[in-house]
Amino acid sequence: MKKKKIVILGTGGTIAGTAASASDHTGYTAAQVGIDQLVAAVPAFAGTACELVTEQVAQVDSKDMSFAVWARLAARMKHFLAQADVQGLVITHGTDTLEETAWFLQALLNPDKPVVLTCAMRPATALAPDGPQNMLDAVAVASHPGARGVLAVCAGVIHSARDVQKVHTYRLDAFSSGDAGPVGYVEEGRLRLLRNWPEALSVHALSAIKNIASDDAGKNWPRVEIVMNYAGAGAAVVQALVAGGVQGLVVAGTGNGTLHHALEAALLQAQAAGVRVVRATRCLEGRVLPKAGDAIPDSQGLSPVKARVDMLLQLIG
């Protein structure tokens, strides 16, 4: 029987990190170990019914994620997904911006095949690293019949790109899908699904993908920034950004997207000057519920960082 082909793309992160001591879980350097070596460190892959193909797309600490890496990753993803014998993709990624990359790829490419981002909270040199099990679980999801869309797998939990969010600074189970709940679990290599595979359609995807070249250094991407509401928030940051040529602003409002009157006035002024403005919430759960007559549109349930990705794609498309 022909084995299913799963492509594993490496981008760096703690999963590829090294520390001087096996007991050091925080003082390590991310993005050191190549994807071939990471795969070779999982003996259980030898027994899977999959043919694994690897490619190093980048080697970055994901706090330094760039538009250039996103463009390259999207191009390689598109390339491999177009191959009929490729069943699915796994992408190893740092945890810090994993949710942004996941949403970028989902909103841009809306893949019919599974694309599973995975990661680790402990470096590869740890006494008990979590990366190998996460990679094994990610391959189980990527090879599951019917799986589709961009997903994230960490600590045995399957999240959709839309809902996944890093919520803990050091625990192995660092991600949550908030009140949407996870897509399912990987239990001893088997999937227990709790809801349907994600089907997020994006209206800007088709034109945006045409406008993003694989060798795009990101220099011409629009400038979209995030501002936040808090006690004493004012107009100064927004005014400085507008003066600096910002094209889009996502505001992380308090509660149901509420804004200090001074910040709101500055945002409305920016909007009137042609800057695109969207209102999200800094709350970890729930979504901004719009009211009739709202002058600033809501983020349709997207977190501030994902609403920014959406706005980038709209402006690129």
Active site residues: 14
Q: Is 153 in the site for ligand SIN (CB under 6 A)?
A: no
Decide: helix, strand or coil at residue 287: coil
Q: Is 57 in the site for ligand SIN (CB under 6 A)?
A: no
Q: Is 182 in the site for ligand SIN (CB under 6 A)?
A: no
- Comparison of 131 and 248: residue with beta carbon closer to ligand SIN: 131
| SS3 sequence of 60-100 | ECHHHCCHHHHHHHHHHHHHHHCCCCEEEEEEECCCCCHHH
Q: Is 118 in the site for ligand SIN (CB under 6 A)?
A: no
Q: Is 115 in the site for ligand SIN (CB under 6 A)?
A: no
Options 7, 30, 38, 105; binder of ligand SIN; rule CB under 6 A? 30
Q: Is 63 in the site for ligand SIN (CB under 6 A)?
A: yes
Q: Between β-strands 4-12 and 86-92, what pairing exists: parallel, antiparallel or unpaired?
A: parallel
Task: Supply the minimum distance, in Å, between the C-beta of residue 169 and ligand SIN.
Answer: 9
Options 32, 33, 71, 96; binder of ligand SIN; rule CB under 6 A? 96
The vertex-64 CA angle with 18 and 158, nearest 5°, equals 75
Q: Is 11 in the site for ligand SIN (CB under 6 A)?
A: no
What residue number has its CB nearest to ligand SIN? Answer: 94
Tell me the chain's radius of gyration from C-alpha atoms.
20
Task: Supply the minimum distance, in Å, between the C-beta of residue 126 and ligand SIN.
Answer: 12
- Comparison of 65 and 270: residue with beta carbon closer to ligand SIN: 65
Contact (CB, 8 A) for 89 and 61: no
For residue 219, CA distances in Å to 213, 222, 223 come to 12, 9, 10
Task: Supply the minimum distance, in Å, between the C-beta of residue 219 and ligand SIN.
Answer: 23
Distance (Å, whole) CA 258 – CA 279: 9
Q: What's the distance, CA 101 to chain centroid?
A: 3
Q: Is 121 in the site for ligand SIN (CB under 6 A)?
A: yes
Task: Supply the minimum distance, in Å, between the C-beta of residue 28 and ligand SIN.
Answer: 9
Nearest 10 degrees: Cα torsion 140, 165, 99, 82: 40
Residues that bind ligand SIN (CB under 6 A): 12-14, 30, 61-63, 94-96, 119, 121
